[in-house]
Amino acid sequence: MTRVFNFSAGPATLPESVLRQAADEMLDWHGSGMSVMEMSHRGKEYMSIHAEAQSDLRELLAIPANYKVLFLQGGAIGQNAFVPMNLYRGKASADYVNTGEWSKKSITEARKYGIVNVVASSEPSGFTSIPKQDTWKLDPNAAYVHICSNETIGGMQYHWTPDMGDVPLVADMSSEILSKPIDVSCYGLIYCGAQKNIGPAGLTLVIVREDLIGQAMPITPSVFDLKQQSDNDSMLNTPPTYAIYIAGLVFKWLKKQGGLKAIEEHNRVKAALLYDYLDSQTFYSCPIAKDDRSLMNVPFKLKDESLDEAFLKGAKERGMLQLKGHRSVGGMRASIYNAMPKEGVQALVAYMKEFQKQHA
């Protein structure tokens, strides 16, 4: 068996030890005589998996007691509707910051449910930097302020936490959740699809402050109603049980790595390997402002685009896959989430040097 270095932006690489454990437990979970996939979500075995995943996540992120953790479905794209339906709370408008492709999707969807004010945008910089908070044209009466804390396609990440005072801050953290410690109390609601940095596709994680629950628009589908899902511990309908089980194994793996401070350090080292090399020569380049570069998704371009195909082919031959940039921006993108080992990034940089030598 050969495992490749998978640089996919999502669904993305998972820790090998997690996959091995899942394989070992596939047919018979802990002597139950069945796979987690086959268990009743109301049975005591599955309920213990569900509860343990929740408590491990709470421990990892130090989630305060007045926040609920929900395991939902519908992806981050679903959250683009879920958030306005639950959080407008009768207010006239919501504020959104546009830092790229994922922010734009959130803005377009929210406009179906209410007035959206785009209070700041990365557009003037060609989506290469995050607008500083003192330039945001905030409305103190906004229902909430929405940001995408890591733009997976563009490769920009907030390395600071916006301070919105009494207005709840909502963040799409799909591609950075659990990559570093965060202060959950700074947010009203955090959401993410699991398939970047947590586990399999199909699980959507929501962390929400309790006082924001219970004011959904009357049109809100029951499965999207914060209060109904929270009252039913995310089991208003059948939750994505197997995805939650794998996420739970990933949470345990993270604890074993030393928690989020340790994983952040690891992520910084990996990203620095790549960015330092990108900045040391001119054959490749990264367009993103240094202060706003993502530690998770590293976009880069070859000076001579006509070499792109040859670059990707050589990478594939060396067991490095999914390096092609998103079709909307072109070039390359290396996604280096928690589960990407340092050896993967070292192999990539070594190959980039070799390729440069051959073609410079």
Stretch that binds ligand PLP, among 171-179, 298-306, 308-316, 324-332 (CB under 6 A): 171-179
Site for ligand PLP in 121-150 (CB under 6 A): 148
Phi and psi torsions of 277, nearest 5°: -65, -45
175 binds ligand PLP (CB under 6 A): yes
196 binds ligand PLP (CB under 6 A): yes
Measure the CA–CA gap between 200 and 193, rounded to whole angstroms.
9
User: For ligand PLP, which is the closer residue by CB, 131 or 193?
Assistant: 193
User: For ligand PLP, which is the closer residue by CB, 243 or 302?
Assistant: 243
Question: Which amino acid belongs to residue 98?
Answer: N
How many residues sit in the footprint of ligand PLP (CB under 6 A)?
Answer: 12
Q: Is 255 a catalytic residue?
A: no
Cα-based distances in Å from 224 to 25, 72, 79, 197? 32, 9, 9, 23
Of 135, 91, 99, the residue nearest 116 (C-alpha): 91
Of 68, 180, 196, 270, which is the active-site residue? 196
Q: Can you tell me which of 193, 199, 240, 344 binds ligand PLP, judged by CB under 6 A?
A: 193
Minimum CB separation from ligand PLP for residue 103, in Å? 8
User: For ligand PLP, which is the closer residue by CB, 155 or 188?
Assistant: 155
Phi and psi torsions of 327, nearest 5°: -55, -25
59: left (phi over 0), alpha (psi -120 to 50) or beta: alpha
199 binds ligand PLP (CB under 6 A): no
75 binds ligand PLP (CB under 6 A): yes
109 binds ligand PLP (CB under 6 A): no
Residue whose C-beta lies closest to ligand PLP: 75
Q: Answer whether the bond into residue 11 is a cis peptide, omega within 30°.
A: yes
User: For ligand PLP, which is the closer residue by CB, 100 or 331?
Assistant: 100
Burial of 112-127, coded b for 16+ CB within 10 Å and e otherwise, reads ebbebeebbbbeebeb
174 binds ligand PLP (CB under 6 A): yes
Minimum CB separation from ligand PLP for residue 170, in Å? 12
Q: Can you tell me which of 56, 95, 109, 172 binds ligand PLP, judged by CB under 6 A?
A: 172
Q: Is 136 a catalytic residue?
A: no
Minimum CB separation from ligand PLP for residue 141, in Å? 27
Residue with tokens 């000076």: 303
Phi and psi torsions of 332, nearest 5°: -115, 160
Minimum CB separation from ligand PLP for residue 190, in Å? 12
Measure the CA–CA gap between 19 and 221, rounded to whole angstroms.
35
Q: Can you tell me which of 19, 77, 138, 347 binds ligand PLP, judged by CB under 6 A?
A: 77
Minimum CB separation from ligand PLP for residue 76, in Å? 3
User: For ligand PLP, which is the closer residue by CB, 77 or 115?
Assistant: 77
100 binds ligand PLP (CB under 6 A): no
Q: Is 276 a catalytic residue?
A: no
Of 340, 317, 356, the residue nearest 179 (C-alpha): 340
10 binds ligand PLP (CB under 6 A): yes
Q: Can you tell me which of 5, 7, 71, 102 binds ligand PLP, judged by CB under 6 A?
A: 102
Site string for ligand PLP, 151-170 (x = CB under 6 A): -x------------------
Minimum CB separation from ligand PLP for residue 201, in Å? 7
Residues annotated as part of the active site: 102, 172, 196
Site residues (CB under 6 A) for ligand PLP? 10, 75-77, 102, 148, 152, 172, 174-175, 193, 196
